[in-house]
């Protein structure tokens, strides 16, 4: 899932300063599951902003809504009427959701209420951990299912650096050394020979380094010759 | 190409010392956190004649310093044989290759390929780090520039290709311990000519590492220089024991540093006594390193204590240095 956390209230209030009618739009997908931008969080943020604006003597009208998926047009269209009423929209979606709302409603000011953090998963109640960086050329088949791009602080491809101690990364003891995890798993599976291969320099063109990315599936397009 | 160099891969003086079978000595020179060439000249004066080659660090511990290539050129002009350190942290493959071409054009002949300490330790933790290549891939790239006259992309170099004597680093004391000799073997297969290790204080553990390196035959593929360094104070010993990831300083070493200052009240004399013992320990370590099969030399890291190198090298019986490098 995409993991995000809410911006500080003061930062959000600065972003919406001057707007009279504010609509907070939550998202029912990833950010609901990571408790940062779902129905509940949208409601709480709306009332927090309402109260704070009243205390300041400049009351803002703040309502909230949730769409099932903020990253697809047809779901966003469900809140079209509420959007029309508002001066400004606070998206509690990930960065994709914010941009989808902004693109769908170009006449409206859309601001982010979340900081999108990473693609990851909950590893225990209340703890999320990064797992994927979307490099566009998955190496997990070579590394025992542990990603060194997302989980090694230096994105090494040929084994651990000299700072790996007791299973920890050199940056801090709370971070696992990805290469220790890789080593342990491949050793347990009797596949350490995989680590003896020299992994050549990575081709980063499939990653963000190649520019903004796009996937086109001609077999799925309704209008393959149409412009996009 | 080899005929032009009488069978040597490069014009490196370090390569000649190592190939001759002489127990090699390298040292380290840290560039200043400013733009003053006098600092390099002063340090170079302290090291000249006492080491076959001198590492010029590259933003060591992720702290901005004078560029290793610029400082290396200054040191070269002072008569040192620099080993230019290059980390993968701060530059991508374009910038690295540009710097490698430039370093060679300036007369530099040794390059040490490193991952680099994580920038969160340094003085710009806000920076974007790079790690386009890892250290093994950097070795491959530098070897490719030399042996195939080709850029990392495969494009041919038309004209003079940079021919560096290529170094690597290995930490025998980091985890997973079993993998360390294998990782060194990978760097040797990538084409590294020599390796310098992390500081050795735990000799029994280092012996185990070397035994495995020799079992794998890696000592026949690469010249290994064991890292040693004089401890400057009890505080430094404790810090290295407790705070530096991947360093193994046994308690007995710390206790010797502590004992050095016992019974001395005067602060300066106490500090001086500790430094004496720090140098004693370093000399003893070098003597032990010379007895370990597969060790081709020592790399003396006297960080911000360059003046100690002369005494260490002399007392360890490694002076004068060959190839005229001992000429003061």
Task: Clarify whether residues A15 and A93 are in a common domain.
Answer: yes
Task: Clarify whether residues A158 and A107 are in a common domain.
Answer: no
Q: What is the CATH number of the domain that holds A111?
A: 3.40.50.2300
Query: Cβ separation of A163 and B174 shorter than 8 Å?
Result: yes
- Helix (H) or strand (E) segment spanning residue A119: strand A114-124
Q: Tokens 């680099």 label which residue?
A: B116
* Residue A221 domain-assigned (yes or no): no
As for the ipTM of the complex, it is 0.93
* pLDDT surpassing 70 at residue B324: no
**Helices assigned H by DSSP within chain A:** 9-15, 30-33, 39-55, 73-76, 80-85, 95-104, 148-151, 178-188, 193-196
Task: Clarify whether residues A152 and A109 are in a common domain.
Answer: no
Query: Cβ separation of B169 and A165 shorter than 8 Å?
Result: no
* Residue A39 domain-assigned (yes or no): yes
Query: Cβ separation of A201 and B133 shorter than 8 Å?
Result: yes
- Chain A residues whose beta carbon lies within 8 Å of the beta carbon of residue B133: 201
* pLDDT surpassing 90 at residue B15: yes
Q: What is the pLDDT of residue B1?
A: 45
Task: Clarify whether residues A28 and A93 are in a common domain.
Answer: yes
Q: What is the pLDDT of residue B270?
A: 93
Task: Clarify whether residues A10 and A97 are in a common domain.
Answer: yes
| Angle CA A130–A135–A137, to nearest 5 | 125
Task: Clarify whether residues A8 and A78 are in a common domain.
Answer: yes
* Residue A85 domain-assigned (yes or no): yes
Report residue B6's pLDDT band, with 50, 70 and 90 as the boundaries.
confident
Give the minimum alpha-carbon distance from A130 to chain B in angstroms, rounded to a whole number. Answer: 18
What is the mean pLDDT of the segment spanning B64-91? 98
What is the mean pLDDT of the segment spanning B132-158? 98
Give the minimum alpha-carbon distance from B137 to chain A in angstroms, rounded to a whole number. Answer: 6
- What domain range is A73 assigned to? 2-118
Report residue B326's pLDDT band, with 50, 70 and 90 as the boundaries.
very low
Task: Clarify whether residues A158 and A69 are in a common domain.
Answer: no
Spans of chain A, pLDDT less than 70: 224-228
Q: What is the pLDDT of residue A225?
A: 64
Give the minimum alpha-carbon distance from B302 to chain A in angstroms, rounded to a whole number. Answer: 20
**HSE-CB for A109 with a 13 A CA cutoff:** 12
Task: Clarify whether residues A195 and A87 are in a common domain.
Answer: no
What mean pLDDT is reported for chain B?
Answer: 95
* Residue A217 domain-assigned (yes or no): no
B140, B166 in Cβ contact below 8 A?
A: no
CB nearest to A170's CB, from B118, B135, B198: B118
Query: Cβ separation of B134 and A162 shorter than 8 Å?
Result: no
- Chain B residues whose beta carbon lies within 8 Å of the beta carbon of residue A202: 132
Strands A61-67, A21-27: pairing is: parallel
Q: In chain A, how many domains are there?
A: 2
The partner residues of A120 in beta bridges, in order of sequence, read A130
- Per-residue three-class SS string for B31-60: CCCCCCHHHHHHHHHHHCCCCCEEEECCCH
* pLDDT surpassing 50 at residue B2: no
* pLDDT surpassing 70 at residue B32: yes
Residue of chain A whose Cα is closest to the Cα of B121: A171
Q: What is the pLDDT of residue A226?
A: 54
Task: Clarify whether residues A14 and A110 are in a common domain.
Answer: yes
Going along chain B from its start, the domains and CATH numbers come out as: 3-230+291-315 (3.20.20.220)
- Chain B residues whose beta carbon lies within 8 Å of the beta carbon of residue A182: none
Task: Clarify whether residues A105 and A159 are in a common domain.
Answer: no
What is the mean pLDDT of the segment spanning B195-203? 98
* Residue A226 domain-assigned (yes or no): no
* Residue A125 domain-assigned (yes or no): no
Residue of chain A whose Cα is closest to the Cα of B136: A158
Task: Clarify whether residues A63 and A89 are in a common domain.
Answer: yes
The chain B residues in contact with chain A (CB within 8 A) are: 88-89, 93, 115-118, 120-121, 129, 131-137, 140-141, 152, 169-171, 174-176, 179, 182-183, 185-186, 189-190, 198, 245-246
* pLDDT surpassing 90 at residue B157: yes
Task: Clarify whether residues A75 and A106 are in a common domain.
Answer: yes
CA-wise closest residue to A80 among A71, A92, A93, A67: A67
Query: Cβ separation of A171 and B170 shorter than 8 Å?
Result: no
B72, B108 in Cβ contact below 8 A?
A: yes
* Residue A225 domain-assigned (yes or no): no
* Residue A196 domain-assigned (yes or no): yes
């Amino acid at each position: 899932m995409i993991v995000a956390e809410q911006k500080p209230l003061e930062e959000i209030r600065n972003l919406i300063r001057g707007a009279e009618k504010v609509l907070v739009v939550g998202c029912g997908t990833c950010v609901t599951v990571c408790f940062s931008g779902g129905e509940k969080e949208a409601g709480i943020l709306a009332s927090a902003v309402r109260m704070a604006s009243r205390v300041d003597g400049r009351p803002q009208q703040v309502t909230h809504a949730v769409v099932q998926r903020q990253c697809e047009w047809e779901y966003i269209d469900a809140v079209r009427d509420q959007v029309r009423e508002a001066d400004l929209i606070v998206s509690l979606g990930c960065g994709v959701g914010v941009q989808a709302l902004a693109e769908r409603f170009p006449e409206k000011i859309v601001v982010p209420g979340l900081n999108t953090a990473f693609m990851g998963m909950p590893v225990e109640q209340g703890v999320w951990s990064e797992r994927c960086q979307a490099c566009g050329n998955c190496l997990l088949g070579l590394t025992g299912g542990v990603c060194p791009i997302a989980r090694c602080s230096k994105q090494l491809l040929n084994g651990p650096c000299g700072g790996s101690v007791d299973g920890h990364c050199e940056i801090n003891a709370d971070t696992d050394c990805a290469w220790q995890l890789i080593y342990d798993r491949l050793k347990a599976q009797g596949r350490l020979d995989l680590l003896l291969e020299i992994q050549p320099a990575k081709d980063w063109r499939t990653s963000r380094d190649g520019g903004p990315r796009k996937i086109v599936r001609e077999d799925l397009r309704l209008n393959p010759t149409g412009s996009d | 190409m080899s005929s032009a160099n009488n069978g040597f891969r490069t014009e490196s003086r370090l390569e000649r010392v190592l190939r001759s079978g002489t127990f090699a000595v390298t040292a380290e020179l840290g560039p200043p956190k400013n733009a003053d060439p006098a600092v390099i000249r002063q340090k170079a004066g302290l090291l000249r004649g006492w080491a076959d080659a001198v590492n010029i660090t590259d933003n060591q511990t992720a702290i901005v310093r004078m560029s290793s290539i610029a400082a290396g050129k200054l040191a070269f002009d002072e008569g040192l044989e620099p080993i230019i350190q290059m980390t993968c942290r701060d530059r991508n493959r374009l910038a690295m290759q540009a710097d490698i071409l430039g370093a060679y054009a300036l007369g530099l002949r040794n390059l040490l390929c490193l991952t680099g300490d994580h920038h969160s330790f340094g003085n710009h933790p806000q920076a974007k780090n790079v790690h386009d290549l890892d250290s093994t891939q950097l070795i491959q790239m530098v070897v490719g520039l030399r042996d195939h006259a080709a850029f990392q992309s495969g494009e041919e170099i038309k004209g003079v290709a940079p021919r560096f004597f290529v170094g690597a680093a290995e930490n025998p004391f980091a985890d997973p311990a079993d993998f360390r000799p294998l990782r060194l073997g990978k760097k040797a297969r990538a084409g590294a000519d020599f390796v310098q290790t992390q500081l050795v204080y735990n000799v029994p553990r280092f012996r185990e590492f070397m035994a495995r390196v020799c079992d794998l035959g890696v000592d026949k593929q690469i010249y290994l220089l064991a890292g040693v360094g004089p401890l400057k104070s009890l505080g430094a010993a404790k810090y290295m024991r407790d705070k530096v990831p991947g360093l193994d300083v046994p308690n007995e070493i710390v206790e010797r540093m502590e004992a050095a200052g016992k019974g001395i009240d005067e602060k300066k004399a106490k500090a001086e006594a500790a430094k004496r013992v720090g140098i004693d320990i370093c000399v003893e370590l070098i003597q032990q390193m010379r007895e370990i099969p597969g060790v081709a030399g020592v790399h003396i890291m006297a960080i911000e204590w360059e003046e100690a190198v002369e005494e260490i090298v002399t007392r360890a019986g490694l002076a004068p240095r060959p190839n005229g490098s001992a000429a003061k």
